[in-house]
Amino acid sequence: MHEIKACIGLGNPGAKFARTRHNIGFMVLDAFAAAHNASWQAKDDMLATTIEVNYHPVFLVKPQTFMNDSGRVLGWLQRKGIKPEEILVVHDELEKPFGTTSITFGGSARGHNGLRSIIEYIGKDFYRLRCGIGRPERKEDVGTWVLTNFSEPTEQLQAMIDDAIKLINERLC
């Protein structure tokens, strides 16, 4: 396993999208940064902060380019010497039931435009923290589904965020 030096949360900027399914990556990183008393700073096309884990800096990044162009932040991380296999991307996952989380390495975008953008910039060999948002019954409803607010109880959403943070902490330690 590679050391994680950066976590990228996928989402869309702005209050309109703050509680949508597509923004679970932002929600997880916001909670993770808050747990480390870190504050976000605007840099180029992103919000970024740095935390320290076991005496090593870890960059947290929220692209502000909208989902389809999330990969633009990779140049900044590459200039910091961070390799693709040292990156963990936190994102929503249609193929997992709501509330489930897992970390995988590599693979395709599976139709996720944020992952597709990341892959265009650095290839497919990076870690992914997949946060299950479930899938609508009809395939043609996916675009609307990911941009709707979570309808599940707040406690269940918070439990998923807590599970995701636990996985990040396990992976960083």
Name the residues annotated as catalytic.
22
Task: Return the closest-CA partner of residue 105 out of 71, 122, 129.
Answer: 129
Residue type, 166: K
Would you call 116 exposed, middle or buried from its count of C-beta atoms within 10 A (0-12, 13-18, 19+)?
Answer: middle
- Alpha carbon 134 to chain centroid distance? 16
β-strands 101-105, 127-132: how paired? antiparallel
- Nearest-5° Cα angle at 128, 166 to 91: 85
Structure tokens belonging to residue 119: 């892959």
27 vs 74: CA distance, rounded Å: 20
162 vs 114: CA distance, rounded Å: 22
